[in-house]
Amino acid sequence: MSLSIPTLGAGTFRLKGDDAYKSVEMALNAGYRHIDTAQIYGNEKEVGQAIADSGIPRQELYITTKIWMDKLGKDSFIPSLQESLKDLQVDYVDLLLIHWPLKDEAVSMEEYLKELKQAQDSGLARHIGVSNFTVAQMKQAIEILGDNVLYTNQVEVHPYLQNQQVVEYCRQQNMIVTGYMPFAYGDVLKDGSIKHIADKHRATPAQIVLAWMAKSGFVTIPSSTKQANIESNLAYVHVKLDDEDMESISKLDRGHRLANPDFAPEWD
């Protein structure tokens, strides 16, 4: 599968109002071309306005949004996506995700995945995928949609939660893993091993984590409201981690999961 999605994107989770607008504006000015939002973030209008004001040609951008759990039914799925597109001021998104699988099957997976595919078939989304799906749920999704239809599974991934079973299954299925919260709300940036590697490479701890994510084959979408961080994160591409660095980071995995709401699935 060719990677048409930029490895580093600007996330907008927890950013509201002017913060969301400014963060996207700074990211686009700094050179980011991949922007990630979701219906539940309540910031699609601000994200869309920042994109519109940037004047960057639409085809140069990679825009992701996600359908929230109360919009998965046949009656509301496509209308809610059309509302998102209107807020984002675009005719299509590059990637549309199911934000969380439904625990209670109030809407069957078959129903909402067929709506997802319909969004792609009608040109409202270039690629489609899932978020927070377990191995069992991905297997079920692939049974419904067939092979090589789902482009990514967006899940929490950082040095403290390396999510190996999910990652391994995605690789077998030719699905990209998009890792969210790569810094674990800053926890991993304080880690002694990460700081040691950062000193060795004359880099920031954040650049080390992003270089590790990229070298491990992950796409990632950190969010920030600080221009200095937004700009310096892009410089991760100059960091060349060696086998010893990668080995050292692989040992940091401790199942430290931060995104675990009561509606989360039974994690692998």
| Residues identified as active-site | 41
For residue 97, give the nearest of 119, 82, 79 by alpha carbon: 119
Identify the H or E element spanning 112: helix 109-121
Residue 165 structure tokens? 């079973």
Q: Angle, nearest 10°, between helix axes 205-215 and 243-250?
A: 100
What whole-number distance in Å separates Cα of residue 24 and Cα of residue 127?
22
Radius of gyration of the chain (CA): 18
E-state strands within the chain: 10-11, 34-36, 62-67, 93-98, 125-131, 150-156, 176-180, 219-220
> Is 158 in contact with 191 (CB distance < 8 Å)?
no
What is the C-alpha separation between 3 and 151, in angstroms, rounded?
10
